[in-house]
Chains A and B, each alone.
Chain A
Amino acid sequence: MKKLAKSPWLLHYDASSCNGCDIEVLACTTPKYDIERFGIINTGDPFQADILLITGGVNSQCEQVVKQLYEQMPNPKVVVAVGICACTGGVFKDCYNIKGGIDTVIPVDVYVPGCAARPQAIIDGVVKALEILEEKRQGYREHAGKGES
């Protein structure tokens, strides 16, 4: 990975997951795994977030919340689907209330499999997301540059 230009902030939301991946996401921010070493801070505010870590298979009630959070985040942004439920629906796929995967509602950039996803895998996913974020930012900068000239 190339060097980071900015400290990306992270937003976490539980879109009908079992909690397993959520506590693993939180565990990532604590001393043993410590994603804060990449300059990442876990924020609760979508308006300040660059990375959306989202878990669970999305049910009809939280669909609107997920969309709203995604829209509230400023561009450029990346979405990381954490856990197999967030990727495809996982064991909850057959449930009557589950839409099956975050990508049925919002675009997803990185998929982190696992039930529950291990912290190492989540960190790997976040680091991949950082690269994508940097690319997207580059894209925006070029786009903005053309606008000025």
Chain B
Amino acid sequence: MAKRSIVPFGPQHPVLPEPVHLDLVLEDEVVVEAVPSIGFVHRGLEKLVETKDFKEYVYIAERVCGICSFGHGLGYCQTVEKIMNVEVPPRARYLRTIWMEMSRVHSHLLWLGLLADAMGFESLFMESWKLREKILDMFDATTGGRVIFSVNCIGGVLKDMDDAMLKAITDTCAEMEKELKPIARAFLRDLTVGSRLHGLGVLSAEQANLMGAVGPMLRASGVAYDTRLLGYAAYDELELEPVTAAEGDSFARCEVRIKEIGQSFDLIRQAAAKIPAGPIAVPVKGFPQGEYFTRIEQPRGEAIYYVKANGTKFIDRFRLRTPTTSNIPPMLDMLKGCQLADVPLLILTIDPCISCTER
């Protein structure tokens, strides 16, 4: 048996925008085991719910993570609305859907850029992020923020979009769809990129289910599971087919995410065409009492929100299970047997969001 050595990876590492630490147990160049240690971004946001007004906490929920910010606000609001039996106006549900899908586009493009950067493909990173700026501009125009939006509130949304704005969004989507093509070609057809991604970190459908993988990671292993099919917000009125790939390797994960960007453009178009007129929020009176679970599909996968309220303005317990939490066990499994040089790439293919995970 070759001699074992331990290589520390992180918390500060060039490919990681966020700190996570792994102890990699190596035999020569091959990883035998990966032992994670987390807590570098833990802030204790779930505890904060006890000292903040439940309406005010929407802003804290959004700040669980800067990339998935809209989704977290949405998940929290939906849960509290269910407890309080608040009927959200249809227009607000459609607006939420549009923003949610825009978030997905921005998150997936961000991930594509980081993936290219991890491979050392600098120009592809720049191209992906250049394209991402367009969707951020639309966020800026509709909500006034680029990454933190604060447009969700209990009972609806705070800002409306007029017809001109909706048209601008669909036009931008059409434009971005065109510009995405050369980027997608580079990821899916380029030999160099292919040689790094094909056959790397294969996760079978059985294993993915067993380990509890969610989101694009699960769908890339051939399981057609998408929480959006539950029909929250306006998803029940839109046509949606989960994107899957069969291979379960890193390339499949990349492919699924690229196709999901196209799917999001399609959903935005559908929502913009169907959006009904009407109010964007209903007034909410009283305090929540009771408990409820909600599931939504974040860009990284299924996220679960739990709220237990006691009839005062402070909520007893808020629990959030984020997609990265459930994607870490399959990642550790994939790391076993891979080369040391592939570790950064493999970690990136699960699209880790550490600040979600640690809250």
Contact = CB atoms under 8 A, between A and B. Distances in A.
Interface of A: 12-24, 26-27, 30-32, 43-46, 56-57, 59, 61-62, 65, 69, 91-92, 94-98, 115-116, 118-119
Interface string B57-75: 0011001111101000000
Given A91-B59, A97-B42, A19 B17 contact: yes
Contacts of A32: 130, 133
B contact residues, range: 35 or more
Interface stretch (B43-51, B163-171, B278-286, B308-316): B43-51
B12 A13 contact: yes
B262 interface: no
Interface in B97-150: 110, 113, 125-126, 129-130, 132-133, 136, 145-148
B41 A14 contact: yes
* Chain B facing A: main interface SS: loop
A118 to B, nearest CB: 7
B18 A19 contact: yes
Interface of B: 11-15, 17-19, 39-45, 47-48, 51, 59-60, 63-67, 69, 110, 113, 125-126, 129-130, 132-133, 136, 145-148, 353, 355
A95 B44 contact: yes
Contact of A30 (B13, B40, B48, B133): B133
Contacts of A31: 126, 129-130
B355 A18 contact: yes
Contact of A18 (B15, B63, B113, B130): B63
Contacts of B145: 116
Nearest to A22: B17
A85 B113 CA distance: 26
